[in-house]
């Protein structure tokens, strides 16, 4: 089975798929993105990934914080952050990149953000071990001459459970205790402990 983050990202792609141009929407690109937006080269990296396919939404899971730690039961909740890079490339003006163009081909960042939120907020993604996305923040990342990039962040509570290191078919541990100097006393105590 794929990692939880992969299943979560795939479920978000499915939830946002109706926004694709090929499905009657307006997005030219909807994909996962493995890059960071920390460097000055990030807009150029996004341009290369998108190859002119804008408007676009790129998604990825990022950092998370553990809470509700139960060491004995080897479980916790991992509050993952789910990030959407929302990209508009309308050439008319900076205002049209956020507000949309009159032709309707690019509805603008504001509309894309709302449409993503309408599709994701509180949605049961059908991913075992993951709760529904809850919006956390929206922020402009960059304003370039040919594109605007905003980030929309969601929080998703996920189950962080350590899988047992023992064979799943193992049900009991058995031990015999003997006197080390008396071979005739074997065993003096027998113990059977169920594996929990």
What is the token pair recorded at 177?
Answer: 């205790």
Residue 181 lies in a domain: no
Distance of CA 181 to the CA centre of its chain: 60
- Cβ burial of 161 (10 Å; 0-12, 13-18, 19+) is middle
> Which of 37-51, 77-91, 105-119 has the lowest average pLDDT?
37-51
Q: What is the CATH classification number for the domain harbouring 131?
A: 3.30.2000.10
Positions of E strands within the chain: 29-32, 56-70, 75-88, 134-143, 148-161, 172-177, 189-194
Distance of CA 56 to the CA centre of its chain: 18
Alpha-carbon dihedral 36, 37, 42, 45, rounded to 10 degrees: 40
Residue 175 lies in a domain: no
In the block, tokens 């304003």 appear at: 143
Residue 189 lies in a domain: no
pLDDT at site 40: 57
Number of domains the chain contains: 1
pLDDT at site 166: 55
Residue 180 lies in a domain: no
Residue 131 has pLDDT above 90, yes or no: yes
pLDDT at site 133: 97
pTM score, two decimals?
A: 0.76
Domain enclosing residue 130, as ranges: 4-161
């Amino acid at each position: 089975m794929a990692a939880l983050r992969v299943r979560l990202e795939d479920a978000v792609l499915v939830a946002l798929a109706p926004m694709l141009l090929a499905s009657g929407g307006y997005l030219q690109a909807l994909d996962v993105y493995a890059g960071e937006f920390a460097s000055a080269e990030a807009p150029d990296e996004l341009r290369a990934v998108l190859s002119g396919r804008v408007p676009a939404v790129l998604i990825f899971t990022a950092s998370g914080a553990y809470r509700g730690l139960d060491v004995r039961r080897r479980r916790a909740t991992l509050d993952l952050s789910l990030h959407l890079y929302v990209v508009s490339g309308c050439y008319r003006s900076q205002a049209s990149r956020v507000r949309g163009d009159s032709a309707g081909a690019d509805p603008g960042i504001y509309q894309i953000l709302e449409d993503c939120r309408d599709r994701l907020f509180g949605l049961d993604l059908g991913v075992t071990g993951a709760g529904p996305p809850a919006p956390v923040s929206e922020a402009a990342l960059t304003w370039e001459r040919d594109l605007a990039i905003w980030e929309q962040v969601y929080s998703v509570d996920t189950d962080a459970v350590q899988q047992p290191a023992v064979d799943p078919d193992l049900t009991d541990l058995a031990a015999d205790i003997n006197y080390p100097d008396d071979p005739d006393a074997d065993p003096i105590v027998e113990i059977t402990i169920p594996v929990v």
